[in-house]
Structure 1
Amino acid sequence: NCEEFVNMVLKLSLHQTLKRSHLREQTSKDPTLSKLRTVIENDGCWDDPDLTNFKNIRDELSITSDGIVLRGLRIVVPSSLQRKVLELAHVGHQGISKTKELLRCKVWFPNLGKCVENLIKQCIPCQANSTSVNRDPLQPTITPRAAWEFISMDFLGPFPNGKYVMVMIDEYSKYPIAEVIGALKVEVVKEAAFKVFSAFGLPSVIKTDGGPP
């Protein structure tokens, strides 16, 4: 039934990091969902502008015995928990389509798809990996024989917060490593590179496109 399904989603799909009690509390505090619950429970009027996104799906909406709103068998997530739910679904850094698919079979809130797209566009590891796939590949004269023998190095940014990302890609495994840096200055890049090399070792060849720094 609906109660069991909600428990299953919270326990298995969200890795028990989102408790039912917390979901119930945040749902009760959400102004829009509070209005929505009132309208559903009292068969009220749907003319409130805050309920525009719910009006066309009103026949699919219901409320559990403890006040959680459902669309069919999907949990309607209060605004205060939407970012957390998005991040939980994207923990494995899946692409946009996979993340949408994972979310849409379990939860719902207005503009979910657009929120997923915005999250992934702001995800530094995903953007680093996308850059490694979409840019014209560097052409090595010798094929690497082992991991971390040849690496390609590039920079992304600036991002809205003024930061940059230094990206290193192992040409053998195509594994990307990203480090956030505050500026494209030699001393800043050297410090970030030293951190990576301390963890993974010094490669035989480092390739860049010749750009700054």
Structure 2
Amino acid sequence: MAAARIQRWAWTLSTYEYKIFYKKGKKNSNPDALSRLPLNRVGKTEVPAEMIMLMDHMDSTPVTAQQIKAWTRKDPILGQITNYVLKGWPNYRDNDEMKPYFSRKTELSVFDSCLLWGNRVVIPNPGRDIILQELHEGHQGISRMKVLARGYVWWPNMDAEIEQTVRACHKCQVNRHAPPEAPMHPWEWPSNPWSRIHIDYAGPLYGKMFLVCVDAHSKYLDVHVVNSATSANTIEKLRTMFAIHGLPESIVSDNGTPFASQEFQDFVQRNGIKHIRSSPYQPSTNGLAERAVQTFKEG
């Protein structure tokens, strides 16, 4: 096939007469127009500088040195601290507003009328909200905001204000990581049989509901068939079990309607039984009954 295709191309090309001329590469634009086509203007194309580790290029800073200088001059605390840095520090004064600056007096300096702590600019009060908004841009979280802030700015209680800004942000709270789950506290093993029982409903199965009851001491399983999971049917089956095994000290159930109704509460109170309900949306807190339901379904 390849030989036949080459032979056909040779036959097609042989029908033409050719004149071969030499042309310099810079004028030979026909083979590769994208790389060889000459431009109308002569000059070097400017390549934009690389921007590393930047997502956005800021045309202007949130605050300027002139603004910080003016705010520092008007601020009574920072103006006084600036004077101390230039002319000498007095004895320590028991002042809550001055205390953060006195503890850093050997590291404070003044450059162009702006107060610095190391290489970080001390931001006066009018510019702090602007800096917080800039740090919070992108909703990066508390840790990332603190890392960025500690590289450039400082003011007293800055970390606490950053944490408060994130906690007050609805988007940050919605998208935050779920807190770690607390370890489950196991139920204590009762010393006597039928002192604590766990109950739950299984079904519907074959059009019926099944009241599953398990003893926490012996793991004895007792299952009763009912037409519907109502408080009246639950009480009726529990009376049958209590007539055989006696009254338990406590009953553990979920927050289902048959167990949370006032009728069921009156029943357990009249019989002196303590009713314990599991935590909402946490079926594992009544895990013994859940496992008994699973065993019943598998059987």
TM range (shorter): 0.5 to 0.7
Distance 1:81 1:46 in 2: 30
Q: Does 1:38 align with 2:83?
A: yes
Higher normalized contact order (CA 8 Å, seq sep 6+, divided by chain length): 1
1:195 maps to none
2:178 to 110, 117, 134: 134
Q: How does 1:1-213 map to 2 (within 5 A)?
A: 15-48=60-93, 49=95, 50-64=97-111, 66-130=112-176, 133-134=177-178
Aligned length: 123
Distance 1:31 1:46 in 2: 19
CA change 1:22–1:46 in 2 (3 A) is farther
Distance 1:61 1:13 in 2: 29
CA change 1:13–1:96 in 2 (3 A) is farther
CA change 1:19–1:111 in 2 (3 A) is same
Letter in 1 for 2:84: V
Distance 2:128 2:109 in 1: 19
Q: Which runs of 4+ in 1 moved over 4 A?
A: 12-15
Give the deviation of 1:17 after TM superposition: 2.4
Give TM-score scaled by structure 2 length.
Answer: 0.38
Task: Using the aligned pairs only, state the percent identity.
Answer: 28
TM-superposition CA deviations, 1:139-178 (whole Å, max 9, x none) = xxxxxxxxxxxxxxxxxxxxxxxxxxxxxxxxxxxxxxxx
Q: CA RMSD in A?
A: 2.4
Structure 2: unaligned runs, 5 residues or longer: 1-56, 180-280, 282-299
TM-superposition CA deviations, 1:45-65 (whole Å, max 9, x none) = 15341311111111110001x
Structure 1: unaligned runs, 5 residues or longer: 1-11, 136-208
Aligned residue for 1:58, secondary structure, equals: coil
Aligned residue for 1:115, secondary structure, equals: helix
Distance 1:14 1:108 in 2: 23
1:169 maps to none
Asked whether the equivalents of residues 39 and 45 of structure 1 are also in contact (C-alpha less than 8 Å), the reply is yes
Distance 1:103 1:15 in 2: 18
The structure where helix makes up a greater share of residues is 1
2:17 maps to none
CA change 1:85–1:110 in 2 (3 A) is same
Give TM-score scaled by structure 1 length.
Answer: 0.53
Letter in 1 for 2:77: T
CA change 1:13–1:108 in 2 (3 A) is farther
